[in-house]
Amino acid sequence: MSSDLAQSLKGLRVLDASRVLAGPYAGQILADLGAEVVKIEQPGSGDDTRAWGPPYLDDLSAYFMSCNRGKRSLTLDLKQAAGRELWLKLVERSDIVLENFRADSVHDLGMDAATMHQRNSRLIICSLSGFGRSGPDADRPGYDFVVQGMSGMMAATGPKEGPPSKFGVAIADITTGLYAAVAVLAALRGRAESGHGYAIDLALIDCAVASMANVGQSFLTTGKVPARQGNAHAQIVPYEAFATSNGWLVLAVGNDAQWRRFCKVAGHDDIALDARFATNESRVRHREVLIPQVGSWLKQRSTEQWIHDLTAAKVPCGPIWDLATLMHSDLAANRRFKIKAKRPDGSDVDLLRSPLVADPGELLAPPALGADNAQILGDWLGLDAQAVARLAADGVI
């Protein structure tokens, strides 16, 4: 981590016209890195996730707060001609636009790449959607849960004999947000060389399928659908969660040397020498015989004792914590998973820290809806208080 990254995008202006999670998550990353990010929201309602609760902190949902720190909020009705003209004036003064409107509405709203590039040829546009901006599914709504189901993720997740399961977080959205941030940073580098802007088309389904990594490649290599493994691993053994005498332990034996050290700690050097288990490939082939034996060993000691003994032997392992245990641990204190941001009333709110930034300095709390209308329109477009009041009276902002 480097605190220098906190200002690496200082001076860049971002219009975040996206909603829910994938786009806002990308915008939050850019804000964490120092960009000025303005969140564009519908007057009166705002981002859908403002209402995704409980839990709430006053009128802000925890969901909304998870992906909108460091931003300012501008309400803008793009269905009105005056709103669209304001939008294009903001575009002229921006470096980056994030949007996830339906493909059939971006032209009507003045948010298509051709229109925006006419006003600002250096603009970097990142359009996010469920299934891409072309093809028969272009207008199909793309929610994370649906994409997890269609991408192979759910078929690969869950107990062997149980139903398919989704991830505990919206992993397709989060992965797409990360890809979007990477794409925008690459486009900034390209713009520095070429002088022109870019239009990036990112689909949740593309990002989710790419994120299948070794599981996806296993299918391409064999033509066989990999079976769900529960908490085990398809290509590494033993690499799963085991019950101990008082709880659970994650055992992650990643190579044959670690396997031998594990067997020594467990008091079973003879098993380490057994040809059926001597190499990872042979352990994978004989997992049905080996795993019950390993499971019986693990039940003979407590989780704490195993962690002590295996850590000393340099065998990867760890406990299974809930968030309360994690956040009250020495690890959390040392790595600073939690940071504080200032709210407009001077109070603090606890937020998750970006892993890219060691010290974010003065961090903006997630904004109230339209809280920054006057400041943004004044700073960016030079509008005075009377002009802003007229726009508000007309329902444009």
Convert the pLDDT of each residue in 50-67 to its tens digit. Answer: 999 999 998 899 999 999
Mean pLDDT value across the chain: 94
Q: How many CB atoms within 10 Å of residue 181?
A: 21
Q: For residue 270, what pLDDT is reported?
A: 93
Q: Is the pLDDT of residue 361 over 90?
A: no
Delimit the domains of the chain by residue range: 3-211+334-393, 239-320
Q: Determine the Cα–Cα distance for residues 256 and 383; give it in Å rounded to an integer.
A: 68
Contacts of 289 (CB under 8 A, 6+ apart): 276
Q: For residue 83, what pLDDT is reported?
A: 95
Q: Is the pLDDT of residue 109 over 90?
A: no
Element (H, E) at 328: none
Residue matched to tokens 């991830």: 167
Q: Is the pLDDT of residue 1 over 60?
A: no
Residues in the chain: 397
Higher confidence at residue 138 or residue 270?
270
173 assigned to active site: yes
Q: Is the pLDDT of residue 140 over 70?
A: yes
What percentage of the chain exceeds 90 in pLDDT?
Answer: 87
Q: How far is CA 254 from CA 27, 54, 79, 147, in A?
A: 36, 41, 56, 31
> Alpha-carbon dihedral of residues 226, 230, 234, 235, nearest 10 degrees?
160
pTM over 0.85: yes
Is 239-320 in CATH node 3.30.70.20? Answer: no
Mean pLDDT of 123-146: 91
Higher confidence at residue 240 or residue 133?
240
Token code pair at residue 152: 């192979």
* Of 76, 194, 178, 69, nearest in space to 124 by CA: 194
Place 362 in a pLDDT band, splitting at 50, 70 and 90. confident
| Active-site residue, from 16, 173, 201, 379 | 173
Q: Is the pLDDT of residue 3 over 80?
A: no
Lowest average pLDDT, out of 11-20, 94-103, 132-141, 215-224, goes to: 132-141
Q: Are domains 3-211+334-393 and 239-320 of this chain identical in fold?
A: no
Q: Considering only the top CATH level, what class is 3-211+334-393? A: alpha beta
Q: For residue 2, what pLDDT is reported?
A: 44
Mean pLDDT of 225-231: 91
Q: For residue 344, what pLDDT is reported?
A: 85
